[in-house]
Amino acid sequence: MIHRSFLIALVTIIHLLFVHGVALAENTGSNTFPSVSKRYDEAKFYYNQLQTNSKLSATRENWLKGTRNFRRIYLSSPKSRFASPCLYMLGRLYLDMYKTFEKPIDLDESISYYKDIVRLFPQHRLADDSYFALGTISLSRGYPQKAADFLTEIVTNYTNGDMHTKAGELLKVLSKEHDIALPKIMISSTGENKLSYVLPVKYWSSDNYTRVVIMASGPVNYKEVLLEQTDNTPRRLYIDFKQSYIEPQYRAPVPIKDGLLERIRTGQFSPDTVRVVLDIASIGSYKIFSLPDPFRVVIDVRGKGHGEPADQDVAAIPTIANDLQRTKKFFTTTDSTDIVVLKGHKKKPINATVSSTASNNRSHRGKATQPDRFSLAQQLGLRVKKIVIDPGHGGKDPGAIAFNFKEKDIVLRIAKQLAPVLERELGCEVLLTRDTDVFVPLEERTAIANTENADLFISLHVNAHPSAKVRGLETYYLNLSTNAEAMRVAAMENATSTHQMSDLQDILSDIMKNSKIEESSRLAQQVHNSILNKAADQGYTNIKNLGVKQAPFYVLIGAQMPAILIEIAFITNKEDVKNLNDPAFAKILTQDIADGVRSYINSTTAQLQSFDFNEDTSYDNAL
Ligand SMILES: [Zn+2]
């Protein structure tokens, strides 16, 4: 019995050895059965056919055949070097099928194959690719946190893999868009991953000047590049904001079409770079600078022939150039997406920023009470036609506060009184940058004056000082300054630190090439002297003369017309405050300012008398 059993066992063993031997022969060398490598290549070839042959890819059965190819290879050799690539290809195939046929079961299949790879072959080079695929699938299904978990695996455990950078960038976007905490490994790396938010682009536009302002949640490094026109693309200026992010809802293109700019396009150029593109229709020049607190980048674009005066004295002649372009647009408010909307108004700006006084007195314009005073200017066509008065601060920004008075209230009251006086005395139109208690950013005030083609810009403020004894009148125009007290006042009005002011000085010299420094200085002097002398004549002998000064006031930067800022008095000094609240003083003050402006106009006209307009062709050239 034992002998027989042994024989049977032996036969069985021999049989097994035989069969096994044949199988080995088939797998290793025989031509009758293809190798795993060759079968994988064939499966891959068929997959590529599915990608490129639309007839083939139209039928679901063909796709299923593609999956069977890889599945067979995997099942026959689950430990071969092709096992992981087969699973990866299955993940891809089912994802493609899901995209083609939209059957949820295919997506589930895809996910399970990618998960098989990271579970069975965590060290394989395709493991991090699988995590990335799982991440993007989760994101497309609306599971950002799940996506972040998969991507975190990559940045944490596959630091040398080819998906490491990509995963990190996508995580930063997820962190911003979905408020998902970044993995520890990313946060600990010196905080360089903190992105600043870029806010919606705002702009103010006319046919010879456009101001674009881009705000950010914090200081941002930026660089601008001007690209010249090619056959396929228009001329454009783009600004890249580094380490920045912009919300998707703010990325819609903003059409402008004012003759200077076609549109502004904003996008997340890369995970940490926001690109703002200005598609140019036709511009003569542009200036770009940034202001702090809050950080914003200002781009002033000027039309051809209007932007760069060849000679300051001649270019300073008010209204000559302005007569050439009377049509303008005026923005009003923001819509729900916070993008400034242009509302086309011709000549009649009806909105909150415009003085109601100006509108009410519109019928009086043109029949000025004392036309003889500026007859020469009229004769030459040089009359100041439009003045913008800018009552400082407003809304959330009260300006200086003392003795229960707020600067914003005082200057608004005086501005409203000044507007009709200027209209009456000078026969010009007067606009206010605000006529209610609203906040208007500094850069918007200049933009209003520029887009309105105003001839003069007068900003009204009240000063403040730590010492209650300090009092007096000072009048400013825009320029660099080395005067510590002037810089203190400018820093106060700019709502920024003196430290940041000194940074500004460096770039200001370039910005100021367009500003009318000499004219502004004369206007400041005339108005300043008029207030001092005439107020004294009328009993206000206690006004202390602090002089005409220069300093870098944000609100004056980029103004195309002569522009001044009057610090009427000190809100921190009792005697000055008494004047500020005295209706008789306000009446005299506004009259004195008007007289000062008239003196300026007359002196400008007197300067021009030296020109012989009939013979001197330089006048025409200057236009
Ligand atoms: Zn102020």
Task: State mean pLDDT over 41-69.
Answer: 93
Higher-confidence residue: 263 or 514? 263
Q: How far is the CA of 351 from the centre of ligand 1 (A)?
A: 23
pLDDT tens for residues 392-410? 999 999 999 999 999 999 9
Higher-confidence residue: 181 or 189? 181
Q: How far is the CA of 400 from the centre of ligand 1 (A)?
A: 7
Write the class of the CATH domain 350-513+531-590: alpha beta
Band of pLDDT at residue 209, cut at 50, 70 and 90 = very high
pLDDT of residue 619: 36
Which ranges of 29-103 does DSSP label H, i.e. alpha helix? 36-52, 54-57, 60-76, 83-101
- 375 has a pLDDT exceeding 60: no
pLDDT of residue 180: 83
Which ranges of 361-516 does DSSP label H, i.e. alpha helix? 375-380, 407-426, 442-451, 484-493, 498-511
Band of pLDDT at residue 294, cut at 50, 70 and 90 = confident
CA–CA separation, 439 and 622 (whole Å): 38
Task: State mean pLDDT over 111-126.
Answer: 94
Q: How far is the CA of 497 from the centre of ligand 1 (A)?
A: 15
Q: How far is the CA of 437 from the centre of ligand 1 (A)?
A: 14
The 3-state secondary structure of 556-583 reads HCCCCCCEEEEEEEECCCHHHHHHHCCH
Q: How far is the CA of 461 from the centre of ligand 1 (A)?
A: 4
Task: State mean pLDDT over 147-172.
Answer: 89
Q: How far is the CA of 43 from the centre of ligand 1 (A)?
A: 76
* Percent of the chain residues topping a pLDDT of 70: 76
**8 A C-beta contact, residue 98 and residue 60:** no
pLDDT of residue 441: 93
- Looking at the DSSP assignment, which residues form a beta bridge with residue 289? 298
Q: How far is the CA of 396 from the centre of ligand 1 (A)?
A: 13
Cα separation values, 567 from 155, 462, 480, 534, 613, Å = 57, 5, 18, 17, 38
Domain residue ranges of the chain, discontinuous segments joined by + = 34-187, 195-308, 350-513+531-590
pLDDT tens for residues 15-43? 444 444 333 333 444 445 688 999 999 99
Task: State mean pLDDT over 539-566.
Answer: 92
Q: How far is the CA of 455 from the centre of ligand 1 (A)?
A: 22
Q: How far is the CA of 340 from the centre of ligand 1 (A)?
A: 26
Write the class of the CATH domain 34-187: mainly alpha
Enter the tokens of residue 513. Answer: 């090439």
Band of pLDDT at residue 428, cut at 50, 70 and 90 = very high
pLDDT of residue 512: 73
Q: How far is the CA of 292 from the centre of ligand 1 (A)?
A: 17
CA-closest candidate to residue 425, choices 530, 313, 320, 319: 530
* pTM of this structure: 0.60
**8 A C-beta contact, residue 70 and residue 97:** no
Q: How far is the CA of 493 from the centre of ligand 1 (A)?
A: 5
CATH 1.10.357.10 fits 195-308, yes or no: no
Q: How far is the CA of 477 from the centre of ligand 1 (A)?
A: 14
Same CATH fold assignment for domains 195-308 and 350-513+531-590:
no
Band of pLDDT at residue 617, cut at 50, 70 and 90 = very low
pLDDT of residue 337: 27
Q: How far is the CA of 109 from the centre of ligand 1 (A)?
A: 67
3-state secondary structure of 161: coil
- Looking at the DSSP assignment, which residues form a beta bridge with residue 463? 570
Ramachandran region, residue 399 (left: φ > 0; alpha: ψ -120 to 50; beta: rest) = left
